[in-house]
Amino acid sequence: MKPISKKARIAVNCSVNGADCRHEVSTSRVLADFLRDDLGLKGTKVSCGRSVCGACTVLIDGAPRAACSAFVFEADGCEIETVEGLEGKEGVPNPLQQAFIRRSAFQCGFCTSGMLMLLWGLLRDNPNPDRAEILRWVSSNTCRCTGYSLIVEAVEEAVHEMNRSREAAQ
């Protein structure tokens, strides 16, 4: 096993919002900086820098992860999803984003992209979460503005809308 030197560049192959991505990075390149500065995806916000607040939450292979506390080398072979990937064709917000808009589930907006990614991860893991589970997940991320209740209501509304769409499609 040969170590990768601190002076070397590592080739990382991953998928970002469905698009193949190949870059060479240093061993210590942090994922949040890579997404924002190398790929221009500024939707991922960095706040605490130590995976406490969750503002930088992205999905890696479907699991929520603080991008400020992940190295790019870990993402080799992985599928990364950021808030930019949530919207559908022609920029139509997805059901969760639409529920956030209808419920005004944001004020300053700094935590919003992280909240959306975290809760999109929840809805993919469990399309029918009850309020207790929504609260458990929401409590992973910090919002200083809203008091969380509108965020919880937005998720419940999104669940309702998505179930309605699924039933209509059947």
Partner 1 sequence: MELSAHDTLIACTPSGLPGFDLFVPRTVEELRLALRTAEHPVAIYAAGTDIFAQFRQGFRPKSLISTKELQLSARIEIGDNALKIDAGATHDMVCKHPALDEIPGLRIAYSLIATTRIRHRGTLGGNLMARNTRYELSILLTALNATADLVSKDEEKSLALTELWDLDPSKPVYLKSVSIPLHGKPRLDYRRDLRPIATQALATGNGGYRLVFATEYHRPWVSDFEDRISGAQQIERLPEDFGNAVAGVDWLRSAGAALLARQFKTLEPAI
**With binding defined as CB under 8 A, does residue 67 bind partner 1?**
no
**With binding defined as CB under 8 A, does residue 27 bind partner 1?**
yes
Q: Specify the residue, 47 or 98, whose C-beta has the smaller distance to partner 1.
A: 47
**With binding defined as CB under 8 A, does residue 57 bind partner 1?**
yes
- In the list 33, 79, 84, 156, the residue contacting partner 1 (rule: CB under 8 A) is 33
**With binding defined as CB under 8 A, does residue 10 bind partner 1?**
yes
- In the list 23, 39, 47, 51, the residue contacting partner 1 (rule: CB under 8 A) is 51
* Order of strands across the sheet that contains 19-25: 19-25, 10-16, 79-81, 57-60, 63-66
Integer Cα distance of 73 and 11 in angstroms: 8
Binding segment for partner 1 among 15-23, 69-77, 97-105, 144-152 (CB under 8 A)?
69-77
Residue 84: C-alpha distances to residues 87, 126, 169 (Å): 7, 22, 26
**With binding defined as CB under 8 A, does residue 97 bind partner 1?**
no
Integer Cα distance of 115 and 43 in angstroms: 12
Integer Cα distance of 42 and 80 in angstroms: 14
Integer Cα distance of 52 and 151 in angstroms: 18
Q: How far is the CB of 93 from partner 1 (least distance, A)?
A: 23
**With binding defined as CB under 8 A, does residue 54 bind partner 1?**
yes
**With binding defined as CB under 8 A, does residue 69 bind partner 1?**
yes
Integer Cα distance of 138 and 148 in angstroms: 8
Binding segment for partner 1 among 12-20, 48-56, 90-98, 105-113 (CB under 8 A)?
48-56
**With binding defined as CB under 8 A, does residue 66 bind partner 1?**
yes
12 is written with which tokens?
Answer: 């990382």
Across the chain, which distance is largest between two alpha carbons, in Å? 56
Q: Specify the residue, 6 or 22, whose C-beta has the smaller distance to partner 1.
A: 6
Q: Specify the residue, 1 or 19, whose C-beta has the smaller distance to partner 1.
A: 1
155 is written with which tokens?
Answer: 């998720």
> Which candidate, 47, 164, 17, places its Cα nearest to that of 99?
164
